[in-house]
Structure formats: C-alpha cells, structure tokens
Amino acid sequence: MMIFSCPGAKRFHQPEPEDLKCPHCGQEIEIWSDEIQVTCRQCKKTFMRQQEQSCVDWCRYAKPCIGEGLYKEYMKNKSQTIKHRLLEELEQYFGNDTKRISHAKNVMYFAEELMKKENADWHIVIPASILHDVGIKIAEQKYNSSAGKYQQEERPVIAKKILLKVGLKKEDIDEICEIIAYHHTPGKIDTLNFKILYDSDRIVNLKDETDISDKAKLEKIIDKVLLTHNGKALAKEIYLKGKR
C-alpha cells in the first residue's frame, strides 16, 4: 500500500540547512529552513530574515497536517517578521507622535510577555497590540475628539488598510480588527487573544489612570480590572513589587 504525504509538510518535519550572507559584514552564515533569526559568527550581530509564504498560509488542513506544535511555532515566527513591518508602518503613521508610538511598543512588549505563559495566537495578538490605537489620530482630526466611540469606528478601518498592505489573511485581519475595535470594551469579545491585548493595554495605562502609590487600592483594582491570571500577576510584579 502506497502512503502519500504532503510535499509541503516536508520542510517542517525535515528542516534543512541553508546559506545566507550576513547583511552587516557579508559573511556566509548557515541557517536552518525552520529558523528566521541567526547570529553571525564573524560580526556577532543578530538579524532576522523574512519568512516566505508556504502552504501553511492558505491550506485549511495545515494544522492537522504538520501538527499543532509546528503550526504554532510557524505562526509565531511569522508574527515576528510581520512585527517589524508593522512597527515601520506604525512609525510612519504616527510620524513625530513619539508618545503614541512608545505606548504601542509598550503594549506589544507586555503582550509578548503574557504570551510566554498563555496559549494565544501570536499572529493575531502582535498585530493587534501594535495597531490597537491607530484610529485615535483620525478621530481627533475628523471629530476633534479622542472619545472611544469615534476610535471604535476609525480603528478597524485604518488597521485593515495597514494589515492588507503587509499581506495578512482575510480571516486573521477580521479577528485583529474586531479586537482592535472593542479593545476598551471587555465583554464584547471573550477570546484569549482579546484578553491578552486588553490586559497589556491596561498594564501600561495603570500608572496614568490610578494612584499607584496606594498599594492596597491598586491591588484591588488589578484583581478587579484585569482579565487573565498572568496579566494580574505581571501587573502586581511591576507596580506592587517593583521588579521591572
């Protein structure tokens, strides 16, 4: 009996070495086909290559074909390459508004920290964390306001344009935009991806929204407001224990 296997899955189950040139010094470097980041032995600098499209990006059987572990690792790697492109788009969009660029990067950082302990989707949460506030600029221009209801209308529109430009799948864009639209409204969406973005944003904003010198009150607010156990633990580590 002949057993057929998907030829596209071979690169995931049987990674092979490839040769690249370091963009910093030109030294030839070996990197495996399932890796996206490598450190040059000569100049000691680390660089990331663009992850190319594969059948995993469009095949509906991709996850069972290569296995959930490899699928999640692939999507995590993809999110890291997309992250760099989205950060460039974010900086171009906000221009000299370093405050909002810095806020988005901080939210992304905490989202990445939480996802080390949560089984969420990197390729959804990372783009959502980077672009979660893009609508505020248009809201201020069109409505002379940064009120949430106006941002809720504008955020998904702007985010979708950027995500399409970067090349994400429609179903991923739809989920990311839904999370972005309601990221100030817990209860509208009950997914783990939403909860991680919500908690990351709240962790960044706590210092501006709450008297962080009142530790007892702050602990109660953290327990009441944040949605995930790891989000609460991270907020307490930062604001109550001062470990970061």
Residues 66-85: tens digit of each pLDDT: 888 888 888 777 777 888 88
Superfamily in which the 97-244 domain is placed by CATH:
Hypothetical protein af1432 (1.10.3210.10)
Pick 129 or 188 by higher pLDDT. Answer: 129
Residues 6+ apart with CB under 8 A from 228: 114, 118, 192, 195, 196, 199
Is the predicted pLDDT of residue 243 greater than 70, yes or no? no
Residues 6 or more apart in contact with residue 62 via CB below 8 angstroms: 55, 56, 71
Q: What is the pLDDT of residue 1?
A: 37
**Percent of residues in the chain assigned helix, strand, coil, to nearest 5:** 60, 5, 30
Element (H, E) at 19: strand 17-21
Angle 206-124-120 from CA coordinates, rounded to 5°: 75
- Which range has the worst mean pLDDT, 1-10, 48-57, 170-179? 1-10
Q: Please count the residues of the chain.
A: 244
Q: Tokens 């989000």 — which residue?
A: 231
Q: Scanning the structure block, which residue is given the tokens 């950060």?
A: 87
| Contact (Cβ atoms closer than 8 angstroms) between residue 24 and residue 34 | no
pLDDT score of 31: 82
**Domain definitions of the chain by residue range:** 13-52, 97-244
Residue 122: closest CA among 68, 55, 196: 196
Out of 4-13, 208-217, 221-230, the most confident range is: 221-230
More confidently predicted of 239 and 150: 239
Whether the pLDDT of residue 183 is over 70: the answer is: yes
Q: Is there a contact between 193 and 180 (Cβ–Cβ < 8 Å)?
A: no
Residue 29 has pLDDT above 80, yes or no: yes
Amino acid 3: pLDDT:
43
Mean pLDDT of 22-38: 82
Average pLDDT value for residue range 74-100: 88
Q: Which of 102, 100, 99, 121 is nearest to 112 (CA)?
A: 121
Q: Which of 14-18, 133-137, 145-149, 155-159 is predicted with the least confidence, judged by mean pLDDT?
A: 145-149
Q: Output the pLDDT for position 144.
A: 59
Query: Please, what is the average pLDDT of the chain?
Result: 85
Mean pLDDT computed over 88-97: 93
For 134-138, 196-200, 231-235, which range has the lowest pLDDT when averaged over its residues? Answer: 134-138
pLDDT confidence of residue 102: 97
CA 81 – CA 123 distance, rounded (Å): 10
The predicted pLDDT at position 2 comes to 38
Residue listed under structure tokens 């409204």: 185
62 or 237: whose pLDDT is higher?
A: 237
User: What predicted TM-score, i.e. pTM, was given to this entire model?
Assistant: 0.75
DSSP state of 7: G
Q: How confident is the model at residue 237 (pLDDT cuts 50, 70, 90)?
A: very high
Mean pLDDT value of segment 114-130 = 93
Whether the CB-CB separation of 54 and 8 falls below 8 Å is answered with yes
Element spanning 120, H or E: none
Which whole number is the average pLDDT over 103-112?
96
